[in-house]
Chain A
């Protein structure tokens, strides 16, 4: 049975899809920026000498890494408001869940960076008479950045893909708009294919740049 593709529906409703993209980007920006900041704070707790802080941070990270993101989203939208006694909008619940999730992963990346600072780099610099601050700035931080940057870019890409799950909370990002359109106009093949392509266009440049960045950093070694 030959199927006739018909992209007219996509063409006519493209502005709607674009609006969805803007919500996707908004969600991504909020979650990544806040997640990065929060992640740094948690990483400090993670490497702290106080056992209570340390344990809390470990627990936090392990919870978010050992449960599915979707379960976290659902929990923050359906369960958490009951504890709060207040309803959250889908966007806020999704942003909250994704921020916390991102922060857990970023905390681990920061921790890796911080821990690598603690090793060995100091001796070589001390041996040639560098001050602590100079060592930090010229020797240690550049190398730490080099190691963390690929991990952060990977996280950013992963987050961009995960925003699609917010559609299941009825956040009107691009996946949600796509599903709405395909159930309204009964053209899931064309619409979902285009949604996939939209994500590809959004995310692939990020992947490509991140791969090039990794190669350049590796080459400098």
Chain B
């Protein structure tokens, strides 16, 4: 049976899909920024010599790395409101879930970068009389930053794909908007193929741009 493709219906509602793409990018951008903050704090805690800081941070990272993102989305939207007595907007719940989750992964990226700097650098810094913070700030982190860029970019890329899960909370990112358009036009084939193409174009372009940037960075360094 030959299928009759009809993209007209979909393109008639293209504005909805564009709004969805904006929603996706908005969610991704906010979550990346907050995730970096969370990741920074957690990384410092994991690097700390005090078990009181290190153990909870490790538990945090292990938890987020070994549970599915969808569980986090649902937990923040359905379960957390019960604990705090406040209901949350889909966007808020999605941001909370994504930032804490990406924060855990970013923490590993940051920590990995710092730990990869050889001991001799620490020793040289200390031998001049620098304390832990000064050594970190002046010697270790500047070198680690460069190494963190590729895994950081990869993680942010994954985060952007994970925004699609926010559709299950009825947040108006691209997948959710596609579902809306589908419920109007009843053309799932065209609708979902279109958004797949939209995701692909945006992500493919972004990943290639990033690869270019990384090459440039490697050449400077």
Contacts and interface: CB of A to CB of B under 8 A. Distances in A.
B193 interface: yes
Contacts of A79: 188-189, 191-193
B71 interface: yes
Contact of B67 (A69, A70, A74, A196): A196
A78 B79 CA distance: 29
Contacts of B191: 79
Contacts of B3: 82-83, 85
Given A66-B199, A71-B164, A74-B192, A200 B79 contact: no
A66 B162 CA distance: 12
Contact of A199 (B66, B163, B200, B204): B66
B21 interface: no
Contacts of A204: 62, 66
Interface residues of B, number: 40
A179 B73 CA distance: 12
A162 B207 CA distance: 22
Contacts of B192: 71, 74-75, 78-79
A161 B68 contact: yes
Contacts of A167: 70
A23 interface: no
Contact of A200 (B1, B67, B167): B67
Given A71-B195, A188-B78, A164 B83 contact: no
Which applies to chain A's interface (DSSP): helix, strand, loop or mixed? Answer: helix
Contacts of A75: 192-193, 196
B70 A164 contact: yes
Contacts of B151: none
Given A70-B165, A79-B188, A203 B83 contact: no
Contact of A196 (B65, B71, B196, B200): B71
B129 interface: no
Interface string A164-191: 1101100000010001001000001100
Nearest to B207: A66
Contacts of B203: 66-67
Given A74-B175, A82-B188, A83-B189, A67 B200 contact: yes
B63 interface: yes
Interface residues of A, number: 40
Contacts of B182: 78
B82 interface: yes
Given A83-B3, A193-B75, A193-B79, A78 B196 contact: no
Interface string B1-34: 1010000000000000000000000000000000
Given A162-B68, A200-B63, A70 B83 contact: no
B121 interface: no
A63 interface: yes
B175 A71 contact: yes
B82 A164 contact: no
A71 B71 contact: no
B70 A3 contact: no
A68 interface: yes
Contacts of B66: 157, 161, 199-200, 203-204, 207
Interface of A: 1, 3, 62-63, 66-72, 74-75, 78-79, 82-83, 85, 157, 161-165, 167-168, 175, 179, 182, 188-189, 192-193, 195-196, 199-200, 203-204, 207
Given A72-B196, A78-B182, A196-B63, 13 more contacts: A3-B82, A66-B204, A67-B200, A68-B175, A70-B164, A74-B192, A79-B189, A83-B189, A161-B67, A164-B68, A164-B69, A192-B79, A199-B71
Q: Which 6 A/B pairs are nearest by Cβ-Cβ distance?
A: A164-B68, A68-B164, A188-B78, A161-B68, A68-B161, A78-B188
